[in-house]
Structure 1
Amino acid sequence: MTASEIRQQFLDFFASKGHQIVPSAPIVIKNDPTLMFTNAGMNQFKDYFLGNRVPPNKRVVDTQKCLRVSGKHNDLEEVGIDTYHHTMFEMLGNWSFGDYFKKEAIAWSWELLTEVYKIPKDKLYVTVFQGDDKENLPKDEEAYNFWKEHIAEDRILLGNKKDNFWEMGDTGPCGPCSEIHVDCRTDEEKALVDGKTLVNADHPQVIEIWNNVFMQFNRLKDKSLEPLPAQHVDTGMGLERLVRVMQNKTSNYDTDLFMGTIHTTEGLTGKKYAGTDEKKDVAFRVIADHIRAIAFTIADGQLPSNTGAGYVIRRILRRAVRYYFSFLDVKKPLLHDLVPVLAAQFSHVFPELQQQVEFVKKVVYEEENNFLRTLESGIRRIEDFIQHATAKAVDGKTAFELYDTYGFPYDLTSLIAAENGFSVDEKGFDAAMKEQKDRSRAATELDMGDWVVLDETPNSVFVGYEQLESTTKLLKYRTVKAKGKEQFQLVLGQTPFYAESGGQVGDTGTLYFGEEVIHVTDTKKENNLTIHFADKLPAQPTATVKAAVAKEKRQNTERHHSATHLLHAALRQVLGTHVAQKGSLVNAEALRFDFSHFAKVTDEELAQIEAIVNEKIRANIPVVIRELPKEEALKLGAMALFGEKYGDVVRVVIMDPAYSVELCGGTHISSTGELGQFKFVSEGAVAAGVRRVEAVTGAKAEAFVNEQLQQLKEIKAALKNPKELVKSIETLLQDKASLEKQLEALELEKVRALAATIRDQAENINGVNFLGLVVNVSNAEGLKQLSFQLKNEIPDHVLLFVANIGGKASVALSIDEQLVAAKGWEAPKIIKEQVAPLIKGGGGGQKSFATAGGQETDKLDQVVAAVKKLITA
C-alpha cells in the first residue's frame, strides 16, 4: 500500500463510523498567544474542548499538518540523526466532542490496526495510565478493562504521568492517555529481549504509533485540575510511523513519503543514500524532513524572518543548508529544486503548496543563497581566528558568535576546529547560549492567569457588523503578566468590538459598568474567544455593561480595509493573477499590503493601479456582504487566503462581482464612494518574491496630498519660484557636482602640499620608518589620500595620521606589506587594540591599511604615542 492509500483508509474507516472528514488547519497558528505552530491535531479543536464553541459535528476525522521543533523527542538538532522523529509530520486523528469515549476509541483503534491494516496482534503493546498519588489521580481502570477485551493482559503495560497523561501545555485541556506501540524487530531480536521492556525506551524499532487521549480535565494555573464540561476523545497516529510499519521498513525515511525527495537529492548531488548513521546519510534525512516543514509553512503564510515563527523556519532551512554544504559537498542552492517534487506528491491532500509552487520555490532559493554567502563569511572568520590564535582552542564567546552571527552550530565549529588541531570551549559556548535564551525568554514571557468565570455561556456574540454599541454582561475576566506588565482581559456576553483578524486591527473604545468607566485598549482573538484588553478590572463585575466602540477610528479602519480589497483586485489586473496576498495591516491611519510579485512595481504600474482604484471609488459601487456555503462562494470566484482556516459557511465581500469578490470576516464601508480618494505612500521589498505597498484613503489621503503640495510650494519658494521647477533643480544639481569636483581638486592639492612638507619627518625606529602626526585636513578622505601619497615614497613604513574632523576623531594607519609579513603587524588589529579605546570608537580595513573614527578628540597625541610605543617595543 502507498502512503496515500494508507491515509485514505484511515479517513474512510472513521467516516464509516459516523465521523465527518475535515481538512487540515494551517500549520501556522493565528489567534493563539500560547503557540506559534500547529503542534498537535487537537489545536484547531481547542475551543470545543474548553466549551468556548459548539462543534458542528460531534465526530470528526482528519489528517493534520504539525510542526514540532522543541520539547520531548523533538529537538531540532536531533531530527535526521534517528529514523523516526520529524519536524513536520502528519497526525491522523479521530475526535469525539462529548460523544463516544474510551470504549469506542479503544475498540475502533484496535479494529483498524488489526483487521483493516492487518498488523499482527503479537507485534502490538498498549499502555494505560497507572495513576499518580501526588495529583490524587487513580489508575485508569476503565481503559485497562476495555483493553482486556481485545489484547492479552500481559501486553497491557502501565505508564506514569510523563508517558500516559497528556497535557496541551502548562494550562488547558488534559487527561489520561492510552498508547499503542508496535515492535518491528526481527524474530531473532525478539527472542533475545522481551518487547515490553523496550516500550517508551526510545528503541528505534519499538515505537509508539497511536495515542488515545481521554480529555477529562482542565489544568489551571495553580496546577490543580478541574473536570471539563464534557468528556472528549483526542487521538493521534503519526502517518510517517504507520506507513513505515505497513511498508515493512526499519526507517520512516525508507517509505514513499520520503524516498521521492531522497532520490531527487541523489540526482542533484551525485551521491547515494545508504541509510546509515554516517553524516552523509544524516544529511539526506535532514533535507528530506526539513524541506517539508519549510515548504508547507511558507505556503501557509509564514515567511522566514529574524523573529518569532519566521525565525524558526529560517533556523530549519539553515540547518538543512549546513548539512548539504558540509556533508554532501554542495555549495549552491539545492532545497528549492525539491519544492516541485513535494508539491506534486501532496497535491491531492494539501493542494496549497502546488497552487503556490513557484512562489515558495523563489522564497526558498533566496533564503538558501543568502545563507550560503553567510556561511562563506563564517568560514573565513573561523579560518582567520585559527590563523591568528595564540592557543590551540576556540573560546566559547567566538564559538557562540559563529553560531549567532553566521549560523554555525557547535558541531560544525568543532569539526572545522578539529581539522586544524583545535579544541572548542563547550562550557563557554553553553553559557553564552543560556544567556541568550534567558534574555529571549524574559522578553517573551507570558504568565496567563486563570479565568474568573461569572457565567458559563460560551464565547461572545459579535454584533459589531450592525452596531457600535450594545448592552451586555461580563462573562469572565483574568489578569495576564506579559514582559513584566499586567494586562486585564475581559470577555463579554455580546460585543460590538471587532477582534484583530485578517490584518484589521482590533477595536478600541469604552466599557461602562454603571458609573465606572473602563477603557478598551485593544481587542484580540484567542482561538475563538474575543478578548477585550482593558486598563483595569471592574469594581462591580456583575453590573450591566454598556460597550461602545471608538466610532471614528473604526470608520477610518473600515475605509482602509475596503480600499485593500479594491487594491488587491487592481494589483492582479495590472501585474497578473499570480499576485496573492501575503500579509496586510489595516488601521485608522493607513493600509499596508504584502503580495507575491518577483519585480519592483514600476512608477507607471503604480500610477495605473492607483487610477483603477480611484475609478472604482468614483463609481460608488455598493459593498455587498453575503454569507454563503464555502463551496458556493468559491464557485463565485471568491479569493481565499492561503493559511486561513475557513468554516463551512463563509462571509463574502463583493465590490462588483466582475471586479472584487473575497472571503473576509472584517468590517467594511457600505459603498466605495465613502473612500473619497486613494493614494500610494510607498512601495518596496519585504522578502524574496514579496513586495509591500502602503497607501491612505479619505481624509488621510487628502492630508498626505496636501503635505506633498506644501513641500512642493516650499521648494519653489526656496528656488525663487522658477517657471520650470524640474529644470531649475537639474541645473542646481549640475552646479553642485561641478563645485564638488573643484573642491576635491583643491583638497588633493592641499594633501600633496602637506605630504611634501612632512615626508622628511619620518623617524627610523628599529629599521621601521615611522611617521605619526596630528594633521589638519577637512575630511577622512584627506587622511586616506595622504597615506596613499606617502606609502610609495617611504619604504618599510608605518604611517599614522590622525585629525579632528567636525568635532570627531579620525584615524588612518598604513603598514608596509613586507612588515605585515615579517612582523605580523596588522592595521585592523592595532586599530582595535591600541586606537579604538582611546578615541571611544572603532574601525577596520585590510591588513596593510585601516581607518577608524571615534568621539574623543582630546587624545589624538596619545594615539600617536601608543602606536609608536608598539613599534619601539
Structure 2
Amino acid sequence: MTASEIRQQFLDFFASKGHQIVPSAPIVIKNDPTLMFTNAGMNQFKDYFLGNKVPAHTRVVDTQKCLRVSGKHNDLEEVGIDTYHHTMFEMLGNWSFGDYFKKEAIAWSWELLTEIYKIPKDLLYVTVFEGDAGDNLPKDEEAYNFWKEHIAEDRILLGNKKDNFWEMGDTGPCGPCSEIHVDCRPEAERKAVDGKSLVNADHPQVIEIWNNVFMQFNRLKDRSLEPLPAKHVDTGMGLERLVRVMQGKTSNYDTDLFMGTIHSTESLTGKKYTGTDEKKDVAFRVIADHIRAISFTIADGQLPSNTGAGYVIRRILRRAVRYYFSFLDQKKPLLHELVPVLAAQFSHVFPELQQQVDFVKKVVFEEENNFLRTLESGIRRIEDFIQHAATKTVDGQTAFELYDTYGFPYDLTSLIAAENSFAVDQKGFDEAMQQQKDRSRAATELDMGDWVVLDENAGSTFIGYEQLEGTTKLLKYRTVKAKGKEQYQLVLGQTPFYAESGGQVGDTGTLHFGDEIIHITDTKKENNLTIHFADKLPAQPTATVKAAVAKEKRRDTTRHHSATHLLHAALRQVLGTHVAQKGSLVNADNLRFDFSHFAKVTDEELAQIETIINTKIRENIPVVIKELPKEEAMQLGAMALFGEKYGDVVRVVIMDPAYSVELCGGTHIGATGELGQFKFVSEGAVAAGVRRVEAVTGAQAEAYINEQLQQLKDIKAALKNPKEPVKTVETLLQDKSSLEKQVEALELEKIKQLAATLRDQAEVINGVNFLGQVVNVSNAEGLKQLSFLLKNDIPDHVLLFVANIGGKASVALTIDEKLVAAKGWEAPKVIKEHIAPLIKGGGGGQKTFATAGGQNTDKLDQVIPAVKNILQ
C-alpha cells in the first residue's frame, strides 16, 4: 500500500464516521504570537478549543503540514541521526469540537489500526496519563477503563506528564493524552524482551504511532490551568511512522514518502544510500527531510532571512547544505534540484508547492549558492583549527571569526565542534561580538562644537536643480571632530550643492570668499539644513561667497541617478511587478541599486534589461519634472519608495508616462540620450529577497567596456592569439583536470604499494596485532587511505601511522571494533591523552578511527612507543 493510499484511507475512514475532510492550514502561522510555525494539527483549530469561534463542523479530519524545529517541540538535531524524527511532517488528525470524547476516539483509533490497517493487536501497547500532583491532576481513569474494552490490561501502561499530557506550547489548550505504540521488532527480539519495557524508552523500533489528546484545559501564562468551555478531541498520527509500519520498514526514510527524494539525491551526487555508511546515510536522511521543510515553508510564504521564522528556515537549509558538502562531496547547489521531485510527489494533496515550483526552486538555489561561497573556506578554517588545537575548545575569538568572516552562525560552529568532541567558548564569542559593536560605535562618535551663528534670521534655499554656481553668504558654522580628524560644517543662505539624499551622494566643489578658496568635501542634510563639509574655516566668514559645484562630478552623478529610474522600470518589466527599490547609491563613478527579488538575476535577464534601457537612451526621451499634489502624482501612477517621507506636494520625474513615473528629489538629466550608454558591472545578493546590481553610464560605461576588451586581448595574447580563445581555455582546464586525476591515481597507487609492504609487519602484543609505522605520504588523506586499506586485512588490530607532512605532525589511529567493545579503547581518547601532548596539537574522530595534527614534529618518533605502552 502506498503512502497516498494510506493517507486517503485515513481520511475516508473518518469521513464515514461523520467527519468533514478539511485542507491543511499553512505551515507558516501569521496571526498567533505564540508560534512561528504550525507545530501540531490542532493549531488551526485553537479558537474552537478556546471557545472564541464556532466551528462550521463539530467533526473534522485532515492531514496537516507541521514543523517542529524551535521552542518546546524542537526535533532538529535528532533529524537524520535516527530513523523517525522529522522537521516537517504530516499529522493525520480527527477532531471533535464539543462533540464526541474519549470513548469514541479510543474505539475508532483501535478500529482503524487493527481492522482497516490490520496491524496485529499483539504488536500494540497504549499509554494513559498517570496524573500529576504538581498540577493537581488525577490519573485518567476514564481513558483507562475505555481501553480495557479493546486491549488486555497488561498492555495499558501509565505515563507521566512528559509523555502523556499534551501541551501546544508554554500557553494554550492542553490535556491528558493516550498514546498508541507499535512494536516493530523481529519476533525473536519481541520474545526475548517484553515490548512494554521499551515503550517511551527511545527504542528505534518501538515507537509511538498515534496520540489521542483529550483537550480539557487552557494553560495560562502563570502556568495555571483553567477548564476549556467544552471538551474536545485532538488526535494525531504521524503519517511517516504509520507508512513505515504499514510498509514493513525499519526506518521512516525507507518508505515511498522519502525514497523518491533519496533516489534523486543519489542520481545528483553519484553516491549511494546503503544503510551501512553512517555519515553518508545521515546526510541522505537530512537532505530528504530538510528539503520538505524548506520547500513547503517557502511555498507558504516564509522566505529565509536573518531573523525570526526566516532564520529558522535558513538554519535548516544550511544544515542540509553542510551535510551534503561534508559527507556527499557535493560542492555545487543540490537542494533546489529536489524541489520539482517533491512538488510532483505531493501535487494531489498539497498543490501549493507545484503551483510555485519555479519560485521555490529559485529561492532555494539562491540560498544554497550564497552559503556555499563561504562554507568551504569556513569549514577548512574550523577543521584546521580542530586538527591543531592544543585543547578541546574552540575559543571565542575563532568562533567570532567564523561568524564575522565566513558567515557561520554560532550554532553551526557548535555543531561541527560537538561532532569532533570540542566545546565552544560562548562567553568569549559574546565578548568578541560586543567588542566589535563597541568599535563600530566608537568609529561613528562625533565631537561637535557649538554653532557660530552669523545671521539668525536668514533661511537656506537649494538652487541646485537649475544652477551649479551662485552668490550667497555664510549663515553659520561649527567645528566637528570625527575619527581623530577635525572638520568644519558650513550652512549657506542659498546653495547649489545637492545634499546626500535618496541614494544620491552629496556634491563637492568650492566656496570662494574673495581670493580665499574653501574646498567642500561633502554635502549632507541635517533636518532642514544643508551642511557643507569644509577642509578649513574662512578667514573672513562674513564675506560674500561664490559657491561652485564640481560640475563634472555632478554631471556624472546625475546621469547615474537618472539611469536608476530607467533601470527600475526595466527590472519590473523583465522580472515582474514584485520588484521594488530597497536602496541605492548614486555617485560619479557608478550606480548601485537594491531591489526586492527572490533569486539571482540571470545573465540572460541582465542582457534583456540592458537592451531595454539602452533602447530608451537612444530614443532620447525628454525627462519631465513636475511638482504636484501627492494625490495627483499617485493618480499618474507614480512609484513612491517604502520608508520615504513625502510632503503634500511632491516632485515627480517622468521618463515616458507609459514607462517610468517616480517621486524623486534628486537631480536629473534633460533627456535620456545624455546617458550615452548603460552597462551592468555586477549582480549579487544583499539579503534574502533583496538583490543588488551595479552599473555605469556615459564615459564610465565606455571606460569599463574598453577595460574588458583589453583584458580579452591580453588573454588572447597569453594564449598565443588563438582563433577561438574560449575553446582554448576550456582545453587547458580539461588538461589540468586530467593531470590532477593522474596525480590522484598515482598517489593512490603509492598508498596501495605501501599497504602491501606493511601488511605482514604487524607485531602481536598481548593478543593485539599492532602495526605502527612512520610513513612518507603527501597529505593527511593518505594516512586515512592507508588505514582503511589495511584494517580489513589485519584482525584484532591497532594501526598507527605517523608522518611529517609539510613540516607538521600528522597521525592516524585505527582500533578494531572488537577491541573498542572488549577493552574500552577509543581512538579519540588515546589521541587526546597520549599523542596530542607529544605533537602539541589535537584531534578527534570516531571510536574506531581518529586523526591528529600538531606543530611539533620533533617527537614523532615517540608516538609509536607511547601507544605500544598502552598495549603492554
Q: Select 2:636's aligned residue among 650, 653, 677.
A: 677
Aligned to 1:428: 425
Deviation at 1:114, TM superposition (A): 0.6
Q: Provide, for residues 598-635 of structure 1, a one-character-per-residue CA deviation record: whole Å limited to 9, x for no partner.
A: 556949979999xxxxxxxxxxxxxxxxxxxxxxxxxx
Deviation at 1:399, TM superposition (A): 3.9
Equivalent residues in 2 for 1:596-675, closer than 5 Å: 598=601, 599=605, 602=609
Looking at structure 1, the residues matched to 149 and 64 of structure 2 have their Cα atoms a distance apart, in angstroms, of: 30
Deviation at 1:236, TM superposition (A): 0.5
Aligned to 2:184: 184
Deviation at 1:709, TM superposition (A): 9.1
Deviation at 1:384, TM superposition (A): 7.0
Looking at structure 1, the residues matched to 573 and 427 of structure 2 have their Cα atoms a distance apart, in angstroms, of: 50
Looking at structure 2, the residues matched to 702 and 97 of structure 1 have their Cα atoms a distance apart, in angstroms, of: 56
Looking at structure 2, the residues matched to 277 and 82 of structure 1 have their Cα atoms a distance apart, in angstroms, of: 14
TM-score, normalising length from structure 2? 0.53
Looking at structure 2, the residues matched to 427 and 220 of structure 1 have their Cα atoms a distance apart, in angstroms, of: 37
Looking at structure 2, the residues matched to 700 and 607 of structure 1 have their Cα atoms a distance apart, in angstroms, of: 34
Deviation at 1:676, TM superposition (A): 2.4
Query: Is structure 2 residue 407 aligned with structure 1 residue 410?
Result: no
Aligned to 2:745: none
Counterpart residue identity of residue 215, structure 2: M
Aligned to 2:84: 84
Specify whether residues 27 and 696 from structure 1 end up closer, same or farther in structure 2 by C-alpha distance, changes over 3 A only: same
Contact 2:362 2:599 in 1 (8 A): no
Q: Provide, for residues 269-289 of structure 1, a one-character-per-residue CA deviation record: whole Å limited to 9, x for no partner.
A: 111112246111111111111
Contact 2:217 2:227 in 1 (8 A): yes
Counterpart residue identity of residue 309, structure 2: A
Looking at structure 2, the residues matched to 304 and 254 of structure 1 have their Cα atoms a distance apart, in angstroms, of: 29
Specify whether residues 230 and 704 from structure 1 end up closer, same or farther in structure 2 by C-alpha distance, changes over 3 A only: farther
SS in 2 for 1:62: strand
Specify whether residues 679 and 244 from structure 1 end up closer, same or farther in structure 2 by C-alpha distance, changes over 3 A only: same
Specify whether residues 366 and 56 from structure 1 end up closer, same or farther in structure 2 by C-alpha distance, changes over 3 A only: same
Aligned to 1:542: none
Q: Provide, for residues 832-856 of structure 1, a one-character-per-residue CA deviation record: whole Å limited to 9, x for no partner.
A: xxxxxxxxxxxxxxxxxxxxxxxxx
Contact 1:29 1:35 in 2 (8 A): yes
Q: How many residues were matched structurally?
A: 514
Contact 1:679 1:701 in 2 (8 A): no
Specify whether residues 580 and 134 from structure 1 end up closer, same or farther in structure 2 by C-alpha distance, changes over 3 A only: farther
Deviation at 1:239, TM superposition (A): 0.2
Looking at structure 1, the residues matched to 400 and 645 of structure 2 have their Cα atoms a distance apart, in angstroms, of: 48
Contact 1:574 1:605 in 2 (8 A): no
Equivalent residues in 2 for 1:50-449, closer than 5 Å: 50-70=50-70, 74-276=74-276, 278-382=278-382, 394-399=394-399, 401-402=401-402, 405-407=407-409, 408-413=412-417, 424=422, 426=423, 428-429=425-426, 432=429
Specify whether residues 383 and 39 from structure 1 end up closer, same or farther in structure 2 by C-alpha distance, changes over 3 A only: closer
SS in 1 for 2:69: coil
Looking at structure 1, the residues matched to 115 and 390 of structure 2 have their Cα atoms a distance apart, in angstroms, of: 69
Counterpart residue identity of residue 77, structure 1: E
RMSD of Structure 2 on Structure 1 (CA):
4.4
Any unmatched runs of 5+ in structure 1? 438-569, 586-591, 610-671, 683-693, 717-721, 739-820, 823-873
Aligned to 1:514: none
Counterpart residue identity of residue 121, structure 1: K
Counterpart residue identity of residue 412, structure 1: I
Any unmatched runs of 5+ in structure 2? 435-567, 583-594, 617-630, 655-660, 679-696, 704-805, 808-872
Looking at structure 1, the residues matched to 52 and 579 of structure 2 have their Cα atoms a distance apart, in angstroms, of: 30
Looking at structure 1, the residues matched to 360 and 4 of structure 2 have their Cα atoms a distance apart, in angstroms, of: 23
Specify whether residues 604 and 48 from structure 1 end up closer, same or farther in structure 2 by C-alpha distance, changes over 3 A only: farther
Counterpart residue identity of residue 57, structure 2: N
Contact 2:97 2:233 in 1 (8 A): yes
Looking at structure 2, the residues matched to 127 and 606 of structure 1 have their Cα atoms a distance apart, in angstroms, of: 69
Specify whether residues 91 and 608 from structure 1 end up closer, same or farther in structure 2 by C-alpha distance, changes over 3 A only: farther
Percent of paired sites with the same residue: 73
Specify whether residues 412 and 733 from structure 1 end up closer, same or farther in structure 2 by C-alpha distance, changes over 3 A only: same
Contact 1:572 1:579 in 2 (8 A): no
Q: Provide, for residues 710-742 of structure 1, a one-character-per-residue CA deviation record: whole Å limited to 9, x for no partner.
A: 957x889xxxxx999959999x9979x99xxxx
Looking at structure 1, the residues matched to 577 and 291 of structure 2 have their Cα atoms a distance apart, in angstroms, of: 22
Aligned to 1:48: 48
Contact 1:167 1:175 in 2 (8 A): yes
Specify whether residues 728 and 78 from structure 1 end up closer, same or farther in structure 2 by C-alpha distance, changes over 3 A only: closer
Contact 2:394 2:425 in 1 (8 A): no
Looking at structure 2, the residues matched to 258 and 710 of structure 1 have their Cα atoms a distance apart, in angstroms, of: 53
Specify whether residues 280 and 233 from structure 1 end up closer, same or farther in structure 2 by C-alpha distance, changes over 3 A only: same
Equivalent residues in 2 for 1:450-849, closer than 5 Å: 575=573, 598=601, 599=605, 602=609, 676-681=635-640, 702=650, 726=674
Contact 2:283 2:324 in 1 (8 A): yes
Deviation at 1:312, TM superposition (A): 0.7
SS in 2 for 1:406: coil
Contact 1:579 1:595 in 2 (8 A): no
Of the two, which has the highest radius of gyration? 2
Contact 2:359 2:598 in 1 (8 A): no
Specify whether residues 359 and 187 from structure 1 end up closer, same or farther in structure 2 by C-alpha distance, changes over 3 A only: same
Deviation at 1:358, TM superposition (A): 1.5
Specify whether residues 414 and 193 from structure 1 end up closer, same or farther in structure 2 by C-alpha distance, changes over 3 A only: closer
SS in 2 for 1:679: coil
Deviation at 1:134, TM superposition (A): 2.1
Contact 2:397 2:432 in 1 (8 A): no
Contact 1:171 1:219 in 2 (8 A): yes
Specify whether residues 129 and 723 from structure 1 end up closer, same or farther in structure 2 by C-alpha distance, changes over 3 A only: closer
Specify whether residues 715 and 73 from structure 1 end up closer, same or farther in structure 2 by C-alpha distance, changes over 3 A only: closer
Specify whether residues 727 and 34 from structure 1 end up closer, same or farther in structure 2 by C-alpha distance, changes over 3 A only: closer
Deviation at 1:432, TM superposition (A): 4.6
Q: Provide, for residues 302-340 of structure 1, a one-character-per-residue CA deviation record: whole Å limited to 9, x for no partner.
A: 111111111111111111111111111111111111111
Looking at structure 1, the residues matched to 54 and 580 of structure 2 have their Cα atoms a distance apart, in angstroms, of: 30
Specify whether residues 205 and 401 from structure 1 end up closer, same or farther in structure 2 by C-alpha distance, changes over 3 A only: farther
Aligned to 1:34: 34
Counterpart residue identity of residue 9, structure 2: Q
Aligned to 1:467: none
Looking at structure 2, the residues matched to 342 and 357 of structure 1 have their Cα atoms a distance apart, in angstroms, of: 9
Contact 1:129 1:178 in 2 (8 A): yes
Specify whether residues 22 and 435 from structure 1 end up closer, same or farther in structure 2 by C-alpha distance, changes over 3 A only: farther
